[in-house]
C-alpha cells in the first residue's frame, strides 16, 4: 500500500459526536432504503423465520477522500468502455477464440457457451442487447516512482448483475445530509461540502437503461400487458438495492416483476414464436409479455444446483425478450477477456476501439495482466506465480463474478499446487494495484469498525445495441451513457471488496485536488 495522501482524515469524534452521527445515519438509512437483509450470523433464522427484518447496509460514517482527477477520468471514459464491450459481444468469432481456451478446463464457461451454440443453431429471434455495466477501479500510486501523481487502474469490468446502483445513489445523499445537519466536526467543514460530494445518479440512470430497452422492444406480440423481469436469487439479501431500480421504473410507467431464478420454468412460458410470457403466481389469470430479462442471478455456478436451472437459462436466452445481459455479453465479462485486452503489447484493444484517443485513455487504466497458459507471456507469469517472493505483487483471478473468488500474494504458489497444471489457464495473473493508505469508520451489523481502509470506485454504464448478422458485424450502438458511480470501501486487511459477499461497505466520494 502506498503512503497516505490524507493522514489527518477523518477526524476523531467525541462519544457525543459519534452518537449523534450514528443516530442520524441509522435513521436516515432505514427511512430511505439504504438497507440489506441481515446475515444469519447477525440475526438467526429462529429469530426471523419469515426473513422480513432489515438492517442498515454496511456503510461508512464519513465520505472517503478521492482524487478529483481520477474520479472525473473514470466517469469520462465509461462511454468508451461501453462501446468496447458492446463490440466484443457482437464479435462472436473473436469471442469464440477466447472461450475455446477455457471450455475444456472451466465447466461453467463451457455450459454458457453451449447455450449460445444451441440458440444460434435454432436462430436468435432478438437482435437487441442491453448492458448495464460497471467498471471498477482503484487509485494507484507507483511505489517505485517518487512524487508520482495518483492514477486510476481498472480492477475488473462487470457485464452481469452489476450491483449497488440503487444503494450507491442513496449513500451519496446520506453523506450530504449528514454534512448539512453538522454531524461532522467543524474541522472538516472546508473539506466535506456540497461541491465536493458528487451525487450518484445510478438508480435513475440504470432504470432509464432498462426503460430504453423496454421501449426498443416495440409492439407486443400478444394481447398481454408488457413488463420487465428481474431474474433474482432466492433468498436475496440485497433486495433493497434492486427495489430502487424497480421503483424508478414504475415512476415512468414501466411495470416490473421479480422472478426467483429457480422458478423460471414454472412461472414463465414461451409462445410458439418464442415470445416470453410471465404468469404471476399471485394472479395467474393476468399474464404479462416480457420485453426485457434483467439478470441479477445466474452469474455464479452456485445459481445452477440442478439441471433444470440450465434449462431455465436456455429458455430465457431462446426467448424474444431483450437480455441484460445476453450469454455473449455475459461471457465478454470473463477475466480472460480483460487479460487479453490488457496483456502488455496486446493488439486487440484497437480492434474494438478504432478511435486512437479513446483507446489510449482506456489502455492507461489497465494494470499488467498475464495468462497462465504456455505462451511466452504465460510462461513468464507462471514463474511469477510460483515464486513466493515474486508472487507477493500479484492476484490470481478465476473467470467468476460476485466476490470471494480471488487468490492473493503469498497464497498463490500453494494454491496452484492444488490445481492440475492443465487447469492453470482458467486463471489470470494481475499485478496488484497499490492504493494510498486511508482511514475511515464502517458501520456493519450494528457495530462500528475503525481503521485503515481501501476504496474501490465503480462507474456504471448503460449501452443498448443491435447485434447485426454476426458475420459482417453490422451491429450498431443505439444508446450509450455513463450512469453514475459507486464507491466501495473495505478494511485494509481484507483482500476482497464485495459488499454483498460480506467484505466491503458502500461509501461516497469527497473529491479533493492532489
**Which one is catalytic: 37, 134, 320, 444?**
134
Query: DSSP string of 53-103?
Result: --EEPSEESSPEEEEHHHHHHHHHTHHHHHHHHHHHHH-HHHHHHHHTTTT
The answer on whether 279 is annotated among ligand-binding residues is: no
The answer on whether 236 is annotated among ligand-binding residues is: yes
401 flagged as catalytic: yes
248 flagged as catalytic: no
The answer on whether 199 is annotated among ligand-binding residues is: no
Q: Which residue in the block uniquely carries the three cell numbers 466535506? A: 192
The answer on whether 288 is annotated among ligand-binding residues is: no
Residue 109 to residue 352: CA distance in whole angstroms: 23
Output the nine-digit C-alpha cell for 66: 478521492
Residue 414 to residue 385: CA distance in whole angstroms: 10
Residue 441, helix vs strand vs coil: strand
The answer on whether 327 is annotated among ligand-binding residues is: no
**Which one is catalytic: 51, 402, 468, 491?**
402
The answer on whether 499 is annotated among ligand-binding residues is: yes
The answer on whether 72 is annotated among ligand-binding residues is: no
**Which one is catalytic: 29, 89, 158, 480?**
158
158 flagged as catalytic: yes
The answer on whether 298 is annotated among ligand-binding residues is: yes
The answer on whether 398 is annotated among ligand-binding residues is: yes
Q: Are 58 and 504 in contact (CB under 8 A)?
A: yes
134 flagged as catalytic: yes
Residue 483 to residue 208: CA distance in whole angstroms: 9
The answer on whether 482 is annotated among ligand-binding residues is: no
Residues in the chain: 514
The answer on whether 296 is annotated among ligand-binding residues is: yes
Report strand pairing: 288-295 vs 276-278: antiparallel
**Which one is catalytic: 26, 51, 96, 156?**
156
What are the strands of the beta sheet with 369-371, ordered from one edge?
369-371, 428-431, 394-397, 407-408
For 196-213, b where at least 16 C-beta lie within 10 A, e where not — what string? bbbebbbbbbbbbbbbbb
389 flagged as catalytic: no
The answer on whether 400 is annotated among ligand-binding residues is: yes
**Which one is catalytic: 488, 497, 498, 504?**
488
120 flagged as catalytic: no
The answer on whether 433 is annotated among ligand-binding residues is: yes
Output the nine-digit C-alpha cell for 175: 453523506
The answer on whether 456 is annotated among ligand-binding residues is: yes
**Which one is catalytic: 86, 163, 248, 326?**
163
Residue 51 to residue 43: CA distance in whole angstroms: 10
**Which one is catalytic: 397, 444, 461, 482?**
397
The answer on whether 158 is annotated among ligand-binding residues is: yes
The answer on whether 431 is annotated among ligand-binding residues is: yes
The answer on whether 476 is annotated among ligand-binding residues is: no
The CA-based angle 106-108-114, given to 5 degrees, is 105
Q: Are 102 and 109 in contact (CB under 8 A)?
A: yes
Residue 114 to residue 53: CA distance in whole angstroms: 40
495 closest CA partner among 427, 421, 423, 435: 435
The answer on whether 393 is annotated among ligand-binding residues is: no
Q: Are 390 and 383 in contact (CB under 8 A)?
A: yes
**Which one is catalytic: 83, 317, 401, 434?**
401
The answer on whether 355 is annotated among ligand-binding residues is: no
The answer on whether 93 is annotated among ligand-binding residues is: no
The answer on whether 274 is annotated among ligand-binding residues is: no
The answer on whether 82 is annotated among ligand-binding residues is: no
The answer on whether 87 is annotated among ligand-binding residues is: no
Q: Are 167 and 32 in contact (CB under 8 A)?
A: no
The CA-based angle 19-21-26, given to 5 degrees, is 95
The answer on whether 299 is annotated among ligand-binding residues is: yes
**Which one is catalytic: 90, 318, 320, 335?**
335
163 flagged as catalytic: yes
The answer on whether 161 is annotated among ligand-binding residues is: yes
3-state secondary structure 216-250: HCCCCCCCCCEEEEEEECCCCCCHHHHHHHHHHHH
Residue ranges of the binding site for substrate: 134, 160-163, 236-238, 242, 296-299, 488, 499-500
Catalytic residue positions, numbered:
134, 156, 158, 163, 335, 397, 401-402, 488
Residue ranges of the binding site for ATP: 156, 335, 397-406, 408, 430-433, 456, 490, 496
Residue ranges of the binding site for Mg(2+): 156, 158, 401
Residue ranges of the binding site: 134, 156, 158, 160-163, 236-238, 242, 296-299, 335, 397-406, 408, 430-433, 456, 488, 490, 496, 499-500
Amino acid at each position: 500500500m502506498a503512503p497516505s495522501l490524507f493522514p489527518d482524515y477523518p477526524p476523531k469524534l467525541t462519544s457525543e459526536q459519534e452518537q449523534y452521527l450514528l443516530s442520524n445515519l441509522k435513521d436516515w438509512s432505514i427511512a430511505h432504503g439504504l438497507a440489506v437483509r441481515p446475515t444469519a450470523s447477525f440475526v438467526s433464522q429462529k429469530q426471523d423465520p419469515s426473513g422480513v427484518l432489515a438492517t442498515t447496509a454496511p456503510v461508512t460514517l464519513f465520505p472517503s477522500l478521492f482524487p478529483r482527477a481520477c474520479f472525473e477520468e473514470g466517469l469520462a471514459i465509461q462511454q468508451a468502455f461501453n462501446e468496447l464491450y458492446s463490440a466484443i459481444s457482437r464479435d462472436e468469432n473473436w469471442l469464440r477464440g477466447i472461450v475455446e481456451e477455457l471450455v475444456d478446463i472451466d465447466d461453467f464457461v463451457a455450459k454458457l457457451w453451449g447455450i449460445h451454440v444451441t440458440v444460434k443453431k435454432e436462430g436468435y429471434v432478438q437482435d437487441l442487447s442491453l448492458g448495464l455495466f460497471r467498471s471498477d477501479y482503484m487509485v494507484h500510486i507507483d511505489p517505485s516512482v517518487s512524487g508520482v501523481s495518483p492514477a486510476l487502474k481498472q480492477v475488473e469490468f462487470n457485464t452481469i448483475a452489476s450491483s449497488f446502483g440503487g444503494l450507491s445513489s442513496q449513500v451519496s445523499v446520506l453523506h450530504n445530509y449528514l454534512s448539512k445537519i453538522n454531524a461532522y466536526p467543524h474541522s472538516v467543514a472546508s473539506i466535506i461540502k456540497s461541491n465536493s460530494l458528487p451525487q450518484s445518479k445510478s438508480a435513475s440512470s440504470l432504470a432509464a437503461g432498462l426503460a430504453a430497452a423496454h421501449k426498443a422492444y416495440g409492439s407486443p406480440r400478444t394481447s398481454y400487458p408488457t413488463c420487465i423481469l428481474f431474474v433474482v436469487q432466492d433468498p436475496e439479501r440485497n433486495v433493497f438495492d434492486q427495489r430502487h431500480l424497480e421503483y424508478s421504473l414504475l415512476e415512468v410507467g414501466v411495470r416490473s416483476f421479480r422472478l426467483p431464478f429457480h422458478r423460471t420454468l414454472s412461472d414463465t412460458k414461451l409462445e410458439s414464436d418464442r415470445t416470453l410470457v410471465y404468469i404471476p403466481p399471485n394472479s395467474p389469470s393476468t399474464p404479462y409479455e416480457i420485453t426485457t430479462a434483467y439478470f441479477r442471478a445466474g452469474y455464479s455456478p452456485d445459481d445452477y444446483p440442478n439441471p433444470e436451472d440450465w434449462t431455465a437459462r436456455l429458455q430465457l436466452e431462446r426467448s424474444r425478450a431483450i437480455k441484460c445481459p445476453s450469454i455473449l455479453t455475459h461471457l465478454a465479462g470473463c477475466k480472460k477477456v480483460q487479460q487479453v485486452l490488457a496483456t502488455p503489447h496486446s493488439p486487440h484493444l484497437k480492434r474494438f476501439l478504432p478511435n486512437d484517443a479513446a483507446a489510449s485513455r482506456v489502455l492507461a487504466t489497465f494494470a499488467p495482466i498475464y495468462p497462465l497458459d504456455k505462451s511466452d507471456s504465460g510462461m513468464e507469469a507462471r514463474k511469477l506465480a510460483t515464486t513466493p517472493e515474486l508472487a507477493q505483487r500479484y492476484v490470481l483471478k478465476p473467470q467468476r463474478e460476485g466476490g470471494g473468488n480471488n487468490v492473493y500474494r503469498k497464497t498463490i504458489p500453494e494454491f496452484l499446487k492444488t490445481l492440475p497444471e492443465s487447469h492453470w489457464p482458467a486463471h489470470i495473473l494481475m499485478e496488484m494495484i497499490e492504493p494510498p493508505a486511508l482511514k475511515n469508520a464502517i458501520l456493519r451489523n450494528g457495530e462500528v469498525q475503525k481503521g485503515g481502509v481501501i476504496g474501490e470506485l465503480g462507474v456504471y454504464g448503460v449501452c443498448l445495441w443491435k447485434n447485426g448478422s454476426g458475420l459482417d458485424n453490422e451491429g450498431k450502438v443505439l444508446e450509450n451513457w455513463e450512469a453514475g458511480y459507486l464507491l466501495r470501501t473495505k478494511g485494509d486487511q481484507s483482500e476482497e471488496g464485495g459488499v454483498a459477499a460480506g467484505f466491503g461497505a458502500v461509501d461516497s466520494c469527497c473529491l479533493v485536488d492532489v
